[in-house]
Chains A and B, each alone.
Chain A
Amino acid sequence: KNEVEQSPQNLTAQEGEFITINCSYSVGISALHWLQQHPGGGIVSLFMLSSGKKKHGRLIATINIQEKHSSLHITASHPRDSAVYICAIRPQGNLIFGKGTKLSVKP
C-alpha cells in the first residue's frame, strides 16, 4: 500500500466549479505539502501544512492530523488551474510524494 494516496486520479471540471482533491496518508508526519506541476513539468509549492487550514487566493488547504487526511480546494476554477496537483508528506526527513491528481478545467 502506498504511504500517500490521492483521489481522484483524474478530474475534469467546468470553469467556475468548486474543486476538491483529497490526500490520505498512513504514517505520522511533521508536515504535508501540496504542489502544482504544470504541463511543462515545473513544480510550484502551493502550501505546507502541519495543522488546520491555509488559504491563498482561490486555493484552500486543510489537514486533519488525527484522521491522516488533507484536502485541497479550488474555488471558482479556471482553465489556467489545469495541472497535476501533488500531495507530499514529510514523516521525518525526506518528502514522500503521491501520484498526483490531473485536473482539467474546461472553459
Chain B
Amino acid sequence: SQTIHQWPATLVQPVGSPLSLECTVEGTSNPNLYWYRQAAGRGLQLLFYSVGIGQISSEVPQNLSASRPQDRQFILSSKKLLLSDSGFYLCAWSLTPYQAFFGQGTRLTVV
C-alpha cells in the first residue's frame, strides 16, 4: 500500500534561518507531488507541484523553493525564513485528477 511520510511534525525557527522540509512517498511510482500551505481562514494554498524528477512548477511567488531529487522525494526549502512563512505545510501525492493523499503536515512557527 502507498504511504506518505512528512517530517518534522512541528518546527520553531528564528527569522532569517534556513528551512528544509522533506516528504517521501512509498508504494507508488511517478506520482504527482504537491506542497500546500494552510493558514487560518485561508484554506489550502498550492505552493508547488511536480510531475517528475527535476520538474517543479511554482504557483505563488514567495520566499520558498522546492526540489524533487528523486521520484518519490519532494523537498521544500527557504534560505531565509520570514515571519509570514509561518503556517501548516502539507505534502501530497496523486496519480488521478480526483484524489490526492496528504501527509500529516508540519506546523512551522517562525519567531
* Pairing of A with B: no
